Amino acid sequence: MANDKTKRVIIEPVTRVEGHGKVSILLDEKNNVTQARLHIVEFRGFERFVQGRPYWEVPVLVQRLCGICPVSHHLCAAKAMDLIVGVDKLTPTAEKMRRLMHYGQTYQSHALHFFHLVSPDLLFGFDADPAIRNVIGVAAKFPDLAVQGVMMRKYGQEIIKATAGKKIHGTGAIPGGINKNLTIEERDGFLKDLDQQLEWCRAALKIAKDYTLEHLAELADFGSFDSNHLSIVREDGAMDLYDGNLRAIDAEGKKIFDQVDPRDYHTVLQEEVRSWSYMKFPFLQKLGPQKGWYRVGPLARINCCDFIDTPEAEAARKEFVEATGNKTCNVTMAYHWTRIIELLHAGEKIKELLHDADLQGTDLLAKGERRGEAAAILEAPRGTLIHHYKVNEDDQVTMANLIVSTTHNNEPMNQAVRKVAADHISGKAEITEGLLNHVEVAIRAYDPCLSCATHALGKMPLEVTLLNADGQVVDHKAT
């Protein structure tokens, strides 16, 4: 609880993440951290907006949650609506077009995060001058790298356009299938640039791997903690970003549950609401809210899967697992390396799909018998995404529940903030911008998408902090 001698440091907004959030750190008179929290200050409300709307509208409506990975919501809602229209299996063309769309978005999203959001921290150092520690600084000092980032993101965005109709907020996936195939011209356009793209993936992998291994001593403990991990995996245990069943493991890699059908997600996951954040706190039902929180996203996926079904990414995964001593990795900063393994995997998958003639098929839509309820899961770039809907006999949505990647990572991000604040800020005589950036670095590792993640409608404290000329808190009010 804040008292007269408590100092409050606010990092607002948290930069180089998607959406708006802030961090508050409470310090006692000796600058010891007494509390550190990540607050999410946006409100989403989509679960309410969607009520009453016809079910076929939902995949296009809900993707407006976000402009970075709208394809995740588009596809996850479409997968749920496939089940609503009674379609358990898509036509090969529809399934592969959707997968191509999904790998295209994973590709662009991971490239955006690595090259534009994170590389300034890795290339210049966590406490480098903020004037150069940004994407413009990267473009000035490492122009080739900056251009690669732009070109890789463009490649992924063009794939989204060819499969969804638009680079952002397309309409491609419809209940039961897809509304277009891939033309020969579109395919050949992508094939032309593919080798160069894969070459850039390999180079990015080298940067991420070398950076992590060279700085392992300092990174291993940076914002790190033991946690459970969650993702979907294919029936044979392979990584599958588009479809699969839930698997959760503990910090040592022991399975907590495995092959849970997406429709039964609510039997293994629960959500908790806390008064100071719009974001809910999900946990594994079996372990309860105290011990049941878990991580999702690239690190969790690499930890959860038994193997990757593309050769270069699998070799990279093996190298990663070897570096962690064949154990489940709980190093927060290892997210970056695993994210780039997935970038390469997405590139390889795009190659595999572009050579598949099913993409030029004309059987786009399957039909079935209407159902009233459906839940679907996919692995968005930032982690596991769950969409759950109920639809009435008049075709209107009556209930929607979305658990998005960043929501799963809510408690882990708070853990990371607490850990970094305790390790790097607590007891320091002077709290510099560089030290505060350490907190943001830990949050950025999760690639959070804050605008997607907020849901709980609760009391959000409005905080005003008055600092004197020396930066000391002289007054603080909270509602």
Amino acid at 246: L
Q: Of the listed pieces 26-34, 162-170, 209-217, 253-261, which binds other proteins according to CB under 8 A?
A: 162-170
Q: Is 443 helix (H, G, I), strand (E, B) or coil?
A: helix
Q: Is 21 exposed, middle or buried (0-12, 13-18, 19+ CB in 10 A)?
A: buried
Q: Which DSSP letter does residue 15 get?
A: P
Q: Of the listed pieces 106-114, 351-359, 394-402, 425-433, which binds other proteins according to CB under 8 A?
A: 394-402
Q: How far is the CB of 175 from other proteins (least distance, A)?
A: 7
Residue from 322, 369, 394, 470 binding other proteins (CB under 8 A):
394
Assess 372 for contact with other proteins (CB under 8 A): no
Assess 395 for contact with other proteins (CB under 8 A): yes
Assess 54 for contact with other proteins (CB under 8 A): yes
Q: Which DSSP letter does residue 357 get?
A: G
Assess 75 for contact with other proteins (CB under 8 A): no
Q: How far is the CB of 374 from other proteins (least distance, A)?
A: 16
Q: Which is nearer to other proteins, 61 or 80 (CB)?
A: 61
Assess 57 for contact with other proteins (CB under 8 A): yes
Assess 56 for contact with other proteins (CB under 8 A): yes
Write the binding mask 169 to 208 for other proteins: x where contact by CB under 8 A, - elsewhere: xxxx-xx---xx----------------------------
Q: Which is nearer to other proteins, 100 or 417 (CB)?
A: 100
**Spatial contact of 37 and 469, defined as CB atoms under 8 Å apart:** no
Q: 307 forms bridges with which residues in the sheet?
A: 238
Q: Which is nearer to other proteins, 78 or 122 (CB)?
A: 78
Assess 80 for contact with other proteins (CB under 8 A): no
Amino acid at 260: V
Exposure string of 143-159, with b = 16+ CB inside 10 Å and e = fewer, is eebbebbbebbebbbbb
CB atoms within 10 A of CB 458: 13
Per-residue DSSP letters for 130-149? TTTSSHHHHHHH-HHHHHHH
Total number of residues that touch other proteins (CB under 8 A): 21
- Supply 24's token pair: 């508050």
Q: How far is the CB of 350 from other proteins (least distance, A)?
A: 20
Q: Which is nearer to other proteins, 4 or 394 (CB)?
A: 394
H-helix or E-strand spanning residue 437: helix 433-444
- Supply 256's token pair: 């907590």
**Spatial contact of 348 and 313, defined as CB atoms under 8 Å apart:** yes
Q: Given the rule CB under 8 A, which residues bind other proteins?
A: 52, 54, 56-57, 60-61, 64, 164-166, 169-172, 174-175, 179-180, 394-396
